[in-house]
Chains A and B, each alone.
Chain A
């Protein structure tokens, strides 16, 4: 404080820099301003750089090279002719000479080889005799720019292996079920689980959140009880206080870490309400899911997690409806609920929907609460109903990332791309929906 006054005092009595000194002072200060502007701009651009690094990191891992080693080379089997050109008899001959008799017998028992189509025989040859095996995984940068080095390295460790390009993100990856072999693994169960969870969460949290928002915005100042009796006054007072409490509470809830919601879900939905969430009450007794760790428990937990955000964004949308509309509706003799249902809600709907979808899309990326309530990380069956076991995309990503093998890291990156596309399309849906609803209102 004292240095401040010392610095400013001489100036106030008229010793401001003049002439050359003033010009220098101004240009010096402006120069300093420019430098700082550069620093500020740099910090903003740093955000873009991080996004780019993130994208590079994911793409680099999701695509790249693999070193494939065959137990037997195709050329050795067929004397240099490609498998596709061989006749059925030749294919059978290859199988008969190369497979052990026990394996052959098993195949014959399933269906005689002579009855099988050529494609089927080629598949069997690929699987049983040639047996491609991934022995090394390289990132995209290594594959593109460091080819000689990795080729030399591979030749040393696996002399017969060769390098191929591999896109870990493929249609097969999306539609195949889970597998413990990273090359075979797919994410269909996880995608379906995520979508199932999304829809359920929306069905639970949307009505609850919008209902609470309507109450807080439209009914908060109502006095439903008789003001003339002391009991009625007391009741009205209590109601008003609770409304205030609800608002503070919602704010505080929105700051609670998501993992705490997971603990809540574990204790209440998974454990205490096990009979309900496992479906035992409704006669749905599947011993593998009877522990309450079902998609229903997850949806309930997620609903509580997103509820504060849904309420807050719905409140904002409702608040934005001009009160003249309400007054006009009351003036025509409409009741409060008629006004809310027919006037306020349709006007606020675009905003409510956008806010809700954005809030719920956050739940799609949440992992921590699901880990805590104990969602399965390895299941091969698709979710079939409210009481089935499930897994979701972020959980798979977490599970795969935490493994040391590079193959798992590659499929984690591929799953991340799918998750991000899912999120982006959800957000795009929210925006399109809002625009559509707005244009519809204007035209009518």
Chain B
């Protein structure tokens, strides 16, 4: 009897050990997993580090630039002469050239890119798309320096053939036209994505009311995709503003405040490329001015990118 009672007590004691009062259902901490997760977060942080570094570097050297007695903020933004060797630091000529070239580029790229996008999404058969899509991708994949070569050795001679000698060898028109070709694929692909995302029911309804294909495309599909198209155009514009190689090769190396596209004028990117290619010594005014111009360029493109994102968010038509 006593043995039995003892055995039972032992059994109970054993049970009490194996079945705890509360069960901890939380994930067991694993050191290996935590380390891996930390490493992955660090990878993600590299992108934040990049942004911080860009902003820091641009601001630091720009502050040094503006701290120089030879240059003032007012002069920088309102001066009409950019001649660092004689202490003339008015950034307007550079900004103006960038603007002229980007505008010419947009005049080429918006109709062309939109035309391609509408044709591909509304008209083209599966087979035609199979042929035309790679063409656009090829255009997008060609390095910009090749477009620069094209502008200088092909487009400029043609322009000089048409308009005569009023076109200088380095001119904004040729650079603008070729930058336009360069950003056309961006507008075409982004707009085509937006157009393809418009639900088919809208097209069917329009056809049902007796509209022709063109009327449907231009009055129903394009307005429905307008936010995407607009965003694509702005992204392309930002790309045109930041484009370097074409303008460095074809637009010339002389800061020039003019609206005449036949003249040569240096853009912001062209200036940065020319000065840094000449190997300026650290701390010189030339060196610092690169950063000031770069900061302005960074803000312009950032503003354009943010604007494109806002437009997509605010004006997107949501269909279900």
Binding site for B on A (CB under 8 A): 26, 29-30, 32-33, 36-37, 39-44, 46-48, 50-51, 53-54, 57-58, 61, 207-212, 214-216, 219, 222, 224, 239, 242-243, 245-246, 249-253, 255-264, 266-268, 271, 304, 307-308, 311, 335-337, 361-362, 364-368, 371-374, 394, 397-398, 401-402, 409, 412-413, 416, 419-420, 423, 427
Given A41-B123, A242-B45; 9 other pairs, CB 8 A cutoff: A33-B212, A51-B139, A245-B48, A246-B48, A260-B58, A304-B46, A373-B276, A398-B245, A419-B143
Chain B contact residues, majority secondary structure? helix
User: Within the assembled complex, what's the spacing in Å between the Cα atoms of A174 and B279?
Assistant: 28
Contact of B297 among A32, A260, A416 (CB under 8 A): A260
**Chain B residue at minimal CB-CB distance from A364:** B143
The minimal Cβ–Cβ distance linking B193 to chain A, given in whole angstroms, is: 13
- B291 within 8 A of partner (CB): yes
Residue interface mask B141-160, A partner, CB < 8 A = 1: 11111101110111000000
Interface residues of B in 247-267 (CB under 8 A from A): 248-249
Asked if B43 and A208 make an inter-chain contact with CB atoms under 8 angstroms apart, the answer reads yes
Bound Cα distance A26, B211 (Å): 9
User: Are A33 and B213 closer than 8 Å at their CB atoms?
Assistant: yes
Name the distance in Å between A236's Cβ and chain B's nearest Cβ: 13
B149 near A413 with CB under 8 A, answer: yes
With contact pairs A263-B57, A367-B245 given, residues A246 and B148 touching in the complex (Cβ less than 8 Å): no
Interface residue total, chain B, C-beta cutoff 8 A: 86
B168 → A minimal CB distance (Å) = 14
Q: Is the CB of B33 within 8 A of A337?
A: yes
B120 proximal to A (CB < 8 A): yes
Asked if B272 and A256 sit within 8 Å, CB to CB, the answer is no
B22 lies within 8 A of chain A by Cβ: no
C-alpha spacing A272/B206, complex, angstroms: 62
Interface pair A307/B249, CB less than 8 Å apart: no
In the complex, chain A residues whose CB is within 8 Å of the CB of B37: 215, 219, 222, 224, 337
Tell me if B235 counts as interface (CB < 8 A to partner A).
yes
Chain A residues with Cβ below 8 Å from B124 are 44
| Known contacts A57-B154, A251-B309, A401-B152; A243 and B244 CB within 8 A of each other | no
Residue of A nearest to B158 (CB): A53
Over the window 298-320 of chain B, the binary record of Cβ atoms lying under 8 Å from chain A Cβ atoms (1 yes, 0 no) is: 10011011100100000000000
Contact: A33 with B146, CB < 8 Å? no
Interface status of B282 (Cβ within 8 A of chain A): yes
Alpha-carbon separation in the docked complex, A215 to B39 (Å): 9
**Cα of A251 to Cα of B305 in the assembled complex, Å:** 9
Given contacts A43-B116, A246-B44, contact A256 B148 (CB under 8 A): no
In the complex, B66 has a CB within 8 A of chain A: no
The B227-259 residues at the A interface (CB cut-off 8 A) are 235, 238-239, 241-245, 248-249
In the assembled complex, which residues on chain B have CB atoms less than 8 Å from the CB atom of A307? Answer: 46-47, 50
**Which 10 A-B residue pairs are closest in the complex by CB-CB distance?**
A257-B242, A365-B143, A43-B115, A211-B43, A33-B214, A368-B244, A255-B305, A215-B40, A40-B119, A212-B43
Which residue of the partner chain B has the closest CB to A270?
Answer: B282
Q: A226–B300 Cα gap in the complex (Å)? A: 43
Contact B242 A47 (CB under 8 A): no
- The answer to whether A246 touches B47 (Cβ under 8 A) is yes
Q: Which residues of B contact A48 (CB under 8 A)?
A: 132, 135
Residues of B within 8 A of A311 (CB): 47
Most buried by B among A43, A48, A214, A261: A43
Residue of B nearest to A246 (CB): B44
> Once the chains bind, are A256 and B142 in contact (CB under 8 Å)?
no
Partner of A216, one of B30, B44, B115: B44
Given contacts A47-B184, A215-B44, contact A268 B53 (CB under 8 A): yes
Closest to A29 in B: B212
Kindly identify, within residues 268 to 311 of chain B, every residue whose CB is under 8 Å from any CB belonging to chain A.
Answer: 269, 272-273, 276-277, 279, 282, 290-291, 294, 297-298, 301-302, 304-306, 309
A257 engages B244 (CB within 8 Å) = yes
A30-B50 in contact given A335-B33, A371-B273 (Cβ < 8 Å) = no
Residues of B within 8 A of A257 (CB): 238-239, 241-244, 269, 297-298, 301
Contact, CB under 8 Å: B145 / A365: yes
Contact among A253, A366, A409 with B47 in the assembled complex (CB-CB below 8 Å)? A253
The answer to whether B272 and A47 have CB atoms under 8 Å apart is no
The interface centre, meaning the residue of A30, A54, A364 with most chain B CB atoms within 10 A of its CB, is A54
Nearest B residue (CB) for A37: B123
Closest to B138 in A: A51
Is the Cβ of A304 less than 8 Å from the Cβ of B50? yes
CB contact under 8 A between A258 and B242, given known A44-B132, A243-B44, A308-B47: yes
A33 CA / B82 CA spacing, docked (Å):
51
| Residues of B contacting A211 in the complex (Cβ-Cβ under 8 angstroms) | 39-40, 42-44
In the complex, what residue of chain B is closest to A365 when comparing beta carbons? Answer: B143
Instruction: With both chains docked as a complex, state the minimum distance between the C-beta of B109 and any C-beta of chain A, in angstroms.
Output: 11
Q: Is B10 an interface residue (CB 8 A)?
A: no
Q: Are B54 and A40 in contact (CB under 8 A)?
A: no
In the bound complex, what is the Cα–Cα distance between A261 and B14 (angstroms)? 68
* CB-defined contacts of A367 to chain B, threshold 8 Å: 143-145, 244-245
Complex: A118 Cα to B243 Cα, angstroms: 55
B302 and A366 contact, CB distance less than 8 A:
no
Q: Sample 12 A-B pairs with CB under 8 A, ordered by A number.
A: A33-B215, A54-B150, A58-B146, A207-B43, A242-B44, A255-B301, A257-B297, A365-B143, A372-B273, A394-B143, A398-B248, A423-B141
